[in-house]
Amino acid sequence: MAARILDGNKIRDDILAELAGQVRELKSAGVTPGLVAVLVGANPASQIYVRNKVKADLPAETTTDQLLALVEKLNRRDDVDGILVQLPLPPGVDSKRILMAVDPAKDVDGFHPLNVGQLVSGRPRVVPCTPAGIIEILLRNQIPLQGARAVVIGRSDIVGKPVALLLLHHHATVTICHSKTRDLASVAREADILVAAIGKPAFVTGDFIKPGATVIDVGTNRLTTEDEVRWVFRDAAKPLENLVAKGQVLVGDVHPEDVKEKAGAYTPVPGGVGPLTIAMLMSNTVQGARARRGVGVPAGRQ
């Protein structure tokens, strides 16, 4: 039986449709949610917006103090409900100081220590976007979480740790693995739900996957040479066409052919977790606008 594809694009569209109703409700109360993305230097960033595209573009030479001044200005603006500081920042900027300076109520990434603490305690106010999107994928596809064995490969503050906490709050039994984990493949094979978030193309092969498991692939890796494409794909004809046409082929952290053979359900790359990250950013902005204005906040996610 073929593995079921967990379509992130469809879930994104469903969430955005739900948010549209909330935005209409807010607008009827005289509130238009506002999100500002702060971009420093030449790193490419998503065109993110709620009502309009709002970006604060700063040169790569921007200092920590200059960026702090901008963040404080945005904190004071009543028309701004969400502040997204695009990472990574240039080497000369103190990222920790910048993230600490964002008003926790406007921290749509969920990176501020106060929001991290809320998440750890099981009372999340703002949940990091990618982990929140992963939980939405699982819940909306009726993947059982309570009592499930979950293994998360990757311990980053952005994905690995928060998604492990969210799974734990949904009563899964969670193991976090990393580069120092002994016999990683055998630990991963215990998982009913396997989350791969390590940034290594096709690292998670069939040896890591319990037959019938749900596999969530967070990775977005770019193959740019013919040798790389042939190394990943047994039938490389179509990927090689994409390489010629686009100059790259996107693959996740999970081997794209092995997962189809071993998993019961999986998120593709592209079209799986990625679309949910943007949707949850929109959701965090809308919920922040509701909370700041006291306009009936719906039951929160955990």
CATH code for the domain of 164: 3.40.50.720
Number of domains observed in the structure of the chain: 2
Which of residues 68, 87, 103 is at a domain's end?
103
Q: Does residue 8 sit within a domain?
A: no
Same domain, 133 and 96: no
Residue 133 sits in the same domain as residue 182: yes
Report the alpha-carbon distance of residue 94 to residue 145 in Å, rounded: 38
Decide if 281 is inside a domain.
no
Distance CA 25, CA 38 (A): 27
Cα–Cα distance between 151 and 87 in angstroms, integer? 26
User: pLDDT at position 2, please?
Assistant: 82
126 alpha-carbon distance from chain centroid: 13
In a domain? residue 299: no
Catalytic residue among 22, 86, 161, 253: 86
207 assigned to some structural domain:
yes
Instruction: Name the 3-class secondary structure at 84.
Output: strand
Active site residue 86: yes
- The range of the structural domain enclosing residue 83 comes to 30-103
**Is position 180 within any domain?**
yes
The reply to whether omega before 144 is within 30° of 0 (cis) is no
> What is the C-alpha to C-alpha distance for residues 185 and 105, in angstroms, rounded to an integer?
40
The Cα–Cα gap between 122 and 107 comes to: 18
Residues 167 and 269 in one domain: yes
Is 180 assigned a catalytic role? no
Interatomic CA distance for residues 164 and 152, integer angstroms: 7
**Per-residue pLDDT at 88:** 82
Q: Do 44 and 92 share a domain, yes or no?
A: yes
CATH number at residue 82: 3.40.50.10860
**Residue 200 resides in a domain:** yes
- Whether 59 is covered by a domain: the verdict is yes
> Quick one: 132 and 76 in the same domain?
no
Is 109 noted as a catalytic residue in this protein? Answer: yes
Express the helix, strand and coil content of the chain in percent, nearest 5 each. 40, 15, 45
Indicate if 162 and 43 belong to the same structural domain.
Answer: no
Residue 263 and residue 146 share a domain? yes
**b/e map of 250-277 (b: 16 or more CB within 10 Å)?**
bbbbbbbebbbebbbbbbbbebbbbbbb
Q: Which of the following is catalytic: 10, 27, 53, 73?
A: 53
Domain boundary among 70, 86, 103: 103
pLDDT in tens, the chain (302 residues): 789 999 999 999 999 999 999 999 999 999 999 999 888 876 543 333 333 345 677 888 899 999 999 999 999 999 999 999 988 888 889 999 999 999 999 999 999 999 999 999 999 889 999 999 999 999 999 999 999 999 999 999 999 999 999 999 999 999 999 999 999 999 999 999 999 999 999 999 999 999 999 999 999 999 999 999 999 999 999 999 999 999 999 999 999 999 999 999 999 999 999 999 989 999 999 999 999 888 765 544 43
Q: List the one residue out of 176, 201, 188 whose CA is nearest residue 255.
A: 201
Do 93 and 183 lie in a common domain?
no
Phi, psi of 244 (to 5 degrees): -65, -40
163 with 80, same domain: the answer is: no
Answer yes or no: do 134 and 264 share one domain: yes
Per-residue pLDDT at 238 = 95
Separation between Cα atoms, residue 150 and residue 148, nearest integer Å: 6
| CB atoms inside a 10 Å sphere around CB 169 | 19
Contact 202, 254 (CB under 8 A): yes
Catalytic residue among 81, 103, 107, 109: 109
Residues 149 and 258 in one domain: yes
